[in-house]
Amino acid sequence: MKQLLLNHDTSFRSVVSTMLLHLNRQAIVNLEKKYRSSEGIHQARLCFKRSRAVIRMVRPGLSEADYTQLNDFYRQCGQSLGGLRDTTACIETLRSMLQSRKSPETNKLILQFLSSLRKQQRTQLIGGHQQEMVTRVATSLTDQQTDLSNLTVSGVASKVIYKGIRKVYQQGRQLTEALSSEPDNLGFHQLRKKVKYLGYMFEALQYLYPALMKSQLNELVKLGRLLGSHHDLVILLDALVDFEPGRQRTNLRRSIINRKKRLEKRILDDAAYVFMWKPAEFAGRVRVMMDRLE
């Protein structure tokens, strides 16, 4: 990820605008790839998530109208292309389950499920609707570049970013506490987004203190992967509803739920460690490093 390089020679507004433009252009390039188009879509969606992380990081320096417009825009772009990614996630999760299952009947259902999902994936890739959506998103990204070039970001960089990181970290901490008392799928999904945003923020600011940033980033990436696996299992459970009820489906559903519950315990253990700081102290470490540049 392109880093948010702040120095005395470049304005805060210019640095933020340049970074968002870079991510926007990278998304367009990925969507225009003809070879391995599914991977291109995946990489473009990562650009959207990184853009939303940057927007949140500098939110205190944006007008509420600009923040809302940009956040809604990139969220819609990601959602428009999310169907293919969900199908791919289901396939990858079922493959891993196939390696650990022992019941021939359940294995047979998994193979049938995989066959159905692969067919759905091929249809999505070659279907006109998918390509039409990709083209539409790429065009909207091109139109967005003028607004990004003229984006206004006000305030002192260290104060703005301190407030932005503190807010997202606080939200993640509150979600962790709530999930410890009452786990639910939506809560884990929201926590996953906060962890990803924080990870991308630290990725963008690595130059400040590479060793510290890398250490913190590794913790967030590890937790993010666990939350991603949890999200894939939730999607898989939803997709399983389309299969005919019976013992095989019941056994597979039970297996997925048990795996999800085990994962939730690991997630909450790791999240308690990541979110053990007071939000002001967590964000304050970044502010101290940034104050040296101003």
In a domain, 216, yes or no: yes
- Residue 36 is encoded by which pair of tokens? 């391995």
User: Measuring CA to CA, which residue among 202, 159, 198, 206 is closest to residue 175?
Assistant: 198
pTM: predicted TM-score of the whole model, two decimal places:
0.88
pLDDT for residue 213: 84
Domain that holds residue 53: 12-291
The pLDDT tens digits for 234-251 are 988 888 887 778 888 888
Contact 172, 191 (CB under 8 A): yes
The pLDDT tens digits for 250-267 are 888 888 999 999 999 999
pLDDT for residue 60: 97
Model confidence at 127: pLDDT above 60: no
Separation in Å, CA 193 to CA 3, 27, 223: 20, 19, 11
pLDDT band at 281 (very low <50, low <70, confident <90, very high): very high
In a domain, 7, yes or no: no
In a domain, 2, yes or no: no
Contact 42, 95 (CB under 8 A): no
Contact 190, 184 (CB under 8 A): no
pLDDT band at 38 (very low <50, low <70, confident <90, very high): confident
Model confidence at 9: pLDDT above 60: no
In a domain, 5, yes or no: no
pLDDT for residue 125: 62
pLDDT for residue 187: 97
pLDDT for residue 221: 95
Cα–Cα distance, 220 to 278 (Å, whole number): 16
Q: Return the CATH number at 158.
A: 1.40.20.10
In a domain, 4, yes or no: no
In a domain, 49, yes or no: yes
In a domain, 39, yes or no: yes
> How many domains, in total, are found in the chain?
1
Cα–Cα distance, 170 to 177 (Å, whole number): 11
In a domain, 3, yes or no: no
